[in-house]
Amino acid sequence: MKLPPSGSCKGEGYILLVGGNSLMFSGSIVALITPMDDEAAVDEESLQTLIDYHVKNKTSAIVVAGTTGEAATLEREEHVSLVLKAVELAAGRIPIIAGTGSNATRDAISLTQRFENSKVAACLTITPYYNCPTQEGLYRHFEAIAKSSDLPQILYNVPSRTGCDLLPETVVRLAQIPNIIGLKEATGNLERLSMIKPSVGDNFILLSGDDATGFDFIQKGGQGIISVTANVAAGGMTELCQRVAEGKFTEAGRLNERLMPLHKELFIEANPIAVKWACKRLGLITAETLRLPMTSLTLVNQKRVEDALKSAGLLS
């Protein structure tokens, strides 16, 4: 994959370059919810509100139709339309990363190729859930997807949700494939970072996928976080990442401590149940609708999430 010269941009600002010829996504990247109306159809008006909110709060990029975006309940054409609509509404102001994962390699390839020649900045591809392939199977899965497209690919490892763990040695192998540019590591195991980072090039992007340990992950050398918390605390997560990048760890630590109740309570029920309720509570979306089999946040947990929003200074 050819990269433009240092300091330039490709795709009207959708792909960011930071230093040298490094393709870089860093800082606070939001794992965006998919807003839905009372009939469970995609709510484009609320989608515009969410994108504007993240542009205003200087979120680095937006992941659309990922696991937090309820990709598993989206129909294929709906999935593609959602991503392309987000690109349209972003209008070059913020990069859009498309969730393109599947537990079937051919299906993931087909979905990835739908975004060729679009202004999608990169693809985020989860490990094949349920199948539980071997490490060699995982390598071949991601290799096949990467070779099928020129789009930059970010690996996504979240074994607590998929039952499938992409081990560090396999990540290191995959990092040698030119358009596999990074990893979202959501195990919360900080040792993974120290096992991977010395064995991959400086241009390989390591992103936390676990809000509760994201501060420590970045402090130990990660470039950023793909965050659920950023859905409701976009400014706080941007500031947190900036403070760490500036080496202001004490300030960043205090901010992270204030956000910690959110990091925890937004996962009190299966994601994105709590964060959708929180977005509705803050007026960012018009309805908290989820698609079955996901159900609304229980009353007892609504109080806990509301208290976390207050602790973060998002509600009086």
Can you tell me whether residue 181 is helix, strand or coil?
strand
- Is residue 184 flagged as an active site residue? yes
Q: Is 273 annotated as a binding residue?
A: no
**Cα–Cα nearest to 148, from 104, 114, 119, 99:** 114
Residue 228: C-alpha distances to residues 116, 169, 214, 248, 297 (Å): 27, 27, 11, 23, 16
CB within 8 A of 110, min separation 6: which ones? none
Q: How many CA atoms lie within 13 A of 280 on its CB side?
A: 21
The one catalytic residue in 119, 184, 276, 280 is 184
- Which residue intervals of the chain are DSSP H helices? 44-56, 76-90, 105-113, 135-147, 159-162, 168-174, 191-196, 211-219, 234-245, 249-265, 273-281, 299-311
Cα–Cα distance for residue pair 224/187, rounded to 1 Å: 15
Backbone region of residue 70 per phi and psi (left: phi > 0; alpha: psi in -120 to 50; beta: other values) = left
Cis before 95 (ω within 30): no
- Is residue 130 flagged as an active site residue? no
Q: Is the dihedral of CA 271, 210, 254, 239 positive or negative?
A: negative
Q: Is 68 annotated as a binding residue?
A: yes
The one catalytic residue in 156, 220, 248, 264 is 156
**Cα–Cα nearest to 138, from 110, 162, 165:** 165
How many CB atoms sit inside 10 A of residue 193's CB? 21
CB within 8 A of 261, min separation 6: which ones? 307, 308, 311, 312
Cα–Cα distance for residue pair 257/312, rounded to 1 Å: 9
Residue ranges of the binding site for pyruvate = 68, 226
Catalytic positions are 156, 184
Annotation: binding site: 68, 226
